[in-house]
Structure 1
Amino acid sequence: MSVLPDPGASRAVLIGTSRYDHLEQLPAVSNNLTDLAVLLSGPLSLRMPAPHVTVVENPPDAGAVMDSLRQAAAEATDTLLVYYAGHGLIDPHDALALAMPHTQPDRIETSLNYDWLRQILLDSCAQRHIVLLDCCYSGLALGRMSAPQGLADHAAVEGTFLLAASAETRTALAPVGDTHTAFTGALLDTLRHGVPGGPPLLDLETVYLHLRRTLEARAHPVPQARNRNSGARVAMGRNHADLPAAPVTAAAGPEQPDHRPWPDPSAISTVTGFFTNLAAVREVSGLTQQEVSRRSAGRISTGTISRLVNLDTLPATWTTTAAYLSACGVPDDQIQQWHGAWQELRRHASATQEPRTGTPDGGTAEAGKARRRLSALWRGRGH
């Protein structure tokens, strides 16, 4: 079963090098970083709080990257996403290295050894890892990117889904004048527009297969993927090609089961995750705020709905949230699950609630304990 990460307990580190002293320039990488960061923080993808997405662009040395990775790995208890775009090198020992601005091809110690990054992933407290590598090989002309065969094998990590750009050298992966590199551009388009006929959640396997078809149709090299421990089931967002195009006019009855992909309360472990999923409920319902208000029989106004999904602290009472969920058409048994999540987070609010300053909270030991208690709660109810 596909699962969306809890944004409050997840972190992303986006690394990219667009300017080089000794290698060909890759100006599109800068756009990759900017647009991917915005997407991960927005409603089209994981809705991660902006402080949970760290961008490391043109780092002065490998140490600057490692510091950001260590911090994110220490804070993430749900999902840790690491992205790199730039030149990829293979050292004399056949190990993958990621080029930094001052990297020299004949001095591999000036690069970031992927094994260092890999070790941080192995030591991370996160349950799941996503690694996206839009790597290139040095020495090609401006506008051409490549990677050696077996890149995904070099970078595989247990408990991780790895998605890497193609190994082929014959096709341009960073066409001159394009806004993005070909691989990342296709990834951004997939997350923004969805996959027609695809599943409700854009799990990594679906994303990979769609990218493969898309890039192959464009005569671009196709990506590689490696999956460890069901990492392919982690979702990068909802499938926006699958969401209702018009408001739902009738709730499912006893003889019409509700198969809509409602957010899963059992995946919620932080206050941020609670409100992110609460906002997603209305998207899945296909209803406008006005429709939700009307269906609530006057119990909640459009202004109340807007305020509810934009809170940063849990409401003191359950009544308004229950009315909102019911008006959206969420089945009664799932509303009870939502109530259980609200109660659990209320009991542990001091450990799981993000302060207004954006100080991360998802990486605390108490947050991990809260998640385990929630999981036990759902298992006890037969979910």
Structure 2
Amino acid sequence: MISVLPDPGASRAVLVGTSRYQHLEQLPAVSNNLKALAGLLRGPLSLHLPSEHVSVVENPPDTLTVMDAVRQAAGGATDTLIVYFAGHGLVDGQDELGLALPHTQAGRIETVLPYDWLRRVLLEESRAERHVVILDCCYSGRALGRMSAAPGLADQAAVEGSFLLAASAETRTALAPVGDTYTAFTAALLDALTHGIPGGPALLDLAALYRHLRRTLDARGHPVPQARGRNSGAQVALGRNRAELPAAPVTTAPEAPAAARPWPDPRSVRTVTGYFTSLAAVREVSGLTQQAVVQRSQGRISSASTVSRLVNGPVLPAAWPTTAAYLLACGLADEEVLLWQDAWQRLRSEQPPADAQGPAALSSGRGASVPKVEKKRRPFSAFRRRGTH
């Protein structure tokens, strides 16, 4: 199966954590977990989610606060929904996992957020095609039992699948070393997304991350994470493998064959936000600087600032040639450029007329007037010059 990066415009993340407890041991590293993971998910090193698509719920005063945040995200996500929890995990008399909140008391089940409540919201109320649950807490492996029970969350995923990643086995405690900036599990996850996995795949999907985290944490003598996925949940990627991208931008044609590079797939783009994020990622994968793209465009792109405007939206271009020149200069083949044109045409047709009147005609020179979307696709061979691809 092919790994896929979620469309940031159609995805949501809810990060929940408890660092301060009234009756349990304090976990100050959890606060750092939330800040770092939220920043990563919003940034170019991971999914580039819009800020408003990442909800952080730190030290929630009650279960309702958490459930409201998850419900809101479940209603807004149509691609991927990520739910993360860090804090103490407790086991009740029925052998079920509970997530500890600031007021939680051991032995008082009414003070704990049952994991099953979150599971039921995802199962019964979520519009997302894919669900990713990451639990960094003691005994988090017990949630895997709920994943495999019938009817389980993963088995009920509408289209693609679901994946649950737990920091520890069902009988093990998670590790939060005193004085460390992050908890052990989240620290390893952040490091993998930030620096990549040498020799790993181009996209850091959950299967690759899980294998890497098991090896890394086991080698350090830390609790070994557990995971379970269904359908294609394991193929959901949380970022590109930074270790396999060019170490620094180059000004000439990349050495690797263009066909071998992990280009973003425009067929997975559903929103304008996803379109621009993926378009910007094309240059990153190519290894070219903005100026190099200009040089390789054979005069069809005037400056690096034009490249910057092209990939930063927020309104779709009213004409296609500049985008085609950009993609060809980055090294894409004609057939791949046609897929991008299909995505552009589809998104343009879905835009309300009022939204389509923005100042986005980067190459049309027609101000705010918007021509009809092209019905015919032109061959791109005229854009090419021998030795530039």
Runs of at least 5 residues in structure 2 that lack an aligned partner in the other structure: 155-160, 359-389
SS of aligned partner of 1:89: strand
C-alpha deviation, 1:187, in angstroms: 0.2
Cα distance change of structure 1 residues 165 and 252 upon mapping to structure 2, 3 Å threshold = closer
Scaled by the length of structure 2, what TM-score is found? 0.84
In the alignment, the residues of structure 2 paired with residue 307 and residue 153 of structure 1 have an alpha-carbon distance, to the nearest angstrom, of: 49
> 1:64-213 to 2 correspondence within 5 Å?
64-123=65-124, 124-136=126-138, 147=139, 150-154=142-146, 157-158=153-154, 159-167=161-169, 173-213=175-215
Letter in 1 for 2:70: L
In the alignment, the residues of structure 1 paired with residue 330 and residue 144 of structure 2 have an alpha-carbon distance, to the nearest angstrom, of: 43
State whether residues 96 and 155 of structure 1, in contact with CA within 8 Å, keep that contact through their aligned partners in structure 2: no
> 1:231-270 to 2 correspondence within 5 Å?
231-246=233-248, 247=250, 249-250=252-253, 258-270=259-271
C-alpha deviation, 1:111, in angstroms: 1.1
Q: State the Cα deviation string for residues 286-316 of structure 1 (Å, max 9, x = none).
A: 0011110110122211000111111111111
Letter in 1 for 2:41: L
Q: Which residue matches 2:319?
A: 317
Cα distance change of structure 1 residues 23 and 154 upon mapping to structure 2, 3 Å threshold = farther
Cα RMSD after superposing both structures:
2.1
State whether residues 96 and 142 of structure 2, in contact with CA within 8 Å, keep that contact through their aligned partners in structure 1: no
State whether residues 167 and 174 of structure 2, in contact with CA within 8 Å, keep that contact through their aligned partners in structure 1: no
SS of aligned partner of 1:237: strand
SS of aligned partner of 1:74: helix
SS of aligned partner of 2:264: coil
Cα distance change of structure 1 residues 171 and 89 upon mapping to structure 2, 3 Å threshold = closer
State whether residues 258 and 331 of structure 2, in contact with CA within 8 Å, keep that contact through their aligned partners in structure 1: no
In the alignment, the residues of structure 1 paired with residue 311 and residue 186 of structure 2 have an alpha-carbon distance, to the nearest angstrom, of: 31
In the alignment, the residues of structure 1 paired with residue 79 and residue 280 of structure 2 have an alpha-carbon distance, to the nearest angstrom, of: 20
C-alpha deviation, 1:266, in angstroms: 0.6
Cα distance change of structure 1 residues 57 and 207 upon mapping to structure 2, 3 Å threshold = same
Scaled by the length of structure 1, what TM-score is found? 0.85
Letter in 1 for 2:326: Y
> 1:4-83 to 2 correspondence within 5 Å?
4-83=5-84
C-alpha deviation, 1:75, in angstroms: 0.4
Of 238-247 and 225-234, the range deviating more from structure 2: 238-247
C-alpha deviation, 1:155, in angstroms: 5.0
Q: Which residue matches 1:287?
A: 288
> 1:347-366 to 2 correspondence within 5 Å?
347-350=349-352
Aligned residues: 342
Q: State the Cα deviation string for residues 172-209 of structure 1 (Å, max 9, x = none).
A: 71111100000000000000011101110001000000
State whether residues 168 and 174 of structure 2, in contact with CA within 8 Å, keep that contact through their aligned partners in structure 1: no
In the alignment, the residues of structure 2 paired with residue 293 and residue 192 of structure 1 have an alpha-carbon distance, to the nearest angstrom, of: 29
Letter in 1 for 2:340: W
SS of aligned partner of 1:228: strand
State whether residues 15 and 55 of structure 2, in contact with CA within 8 Å, keep that contact through their aligned partners in structure 1: yes
Of 197-206 and 315-324, the range deviating more from structure 2: 315-324
In the alignment, the residues of structure 2 paired with residue 341 and residue 172 of structure 1 have an alpha-carbon distance, to the nearest angstrom, of: 44
SS of aligned partner of 1:236: strand
Is 2:333 the partner of 1:331?
yes
State whether residues 6 and 79 of structure 2, in contact with CA within 8 Å, keep that contact through their aligned partners in structure 1: yes
State whether residues 193 and 240 of structure 1, in contact with CA within 8 Å, keep that contact through their aligned partners in structure 2: yes
In the alignment, the residues of structure 2 paired with residue 127 and residue 97 of structure 1 have an alpha-carbon distance, to the nearest angstrom, of: 26
C-alpha deviation, 1:245, in angstroms: 2.9
In the alignment, the residues of structure 1 paired with residue 172 and residue 64 of structure 2 have an alpha-carbon distance, to the nearest angstrom, of: 33
Residue identity over aligned pairs, in percent, reads 67
SS of aligned partner of 1:112: strand
Q: Which runs of 4+ in 1 moved over 4 A?
A: 168-172
In the alignment, the residues of structure 2 paired with residue 218 and residue 208 of structure 1 have an alpha-carbon distance, to the nearest angstrom, of: 15
In the alignment, the residues of structure 2 paired with residue 190 and residue 118 of structure 1 have an alpha-carbon distance, to the nearest angstrom, of: 27
Cα distance change of structure 1 residues 113 and 171 upon mapping to structure 2, 3 Å threshold = closer
Q: State the Cα deviation string for residues 26-82 of structure 1 (Å, max 9, x = none).
A: 000000000000000001000100100000000000000000100100000000000
In the alignment, the residues of structure 2 paired with residue 107 and residue 223 of structure 1 have an alpha-carbon distance, to the nearest angstrom, of: 27
Q: State the Cα deviation string for residues 325-381 of structure 1 (Å, max 9, x = none).
A: 111111110100000000000011239x89x9xxxxxxxxxxxxxxxxxxxxxxxxx
C-alpha deviation, 1:234, in angstroms: 0.6
Runs of at least 5 residues in structure 1 that lack an aligned partner in the other structure: 137-146, 357-383
Letter in 1 for 2:289: T
| Greater Rg over alpha carbons, structure | 2
Q: State the Cα deviation string for residues 222-280 of structure 1 (Å, max 9, x = none).
A: 10001111200110110011112353744799xx6711100000100000000000010
Letter in 2 for 1:38: G
More contact order relative to length (CA 8 Å, sep ≥ 6): 1
Letter in 2 for 1:57: E
SS of aligned partner of 1:37: helix
Cα distance change of structure 1 residues 41 and 134 upon mapping to structure 2, 3 Å threshold = same
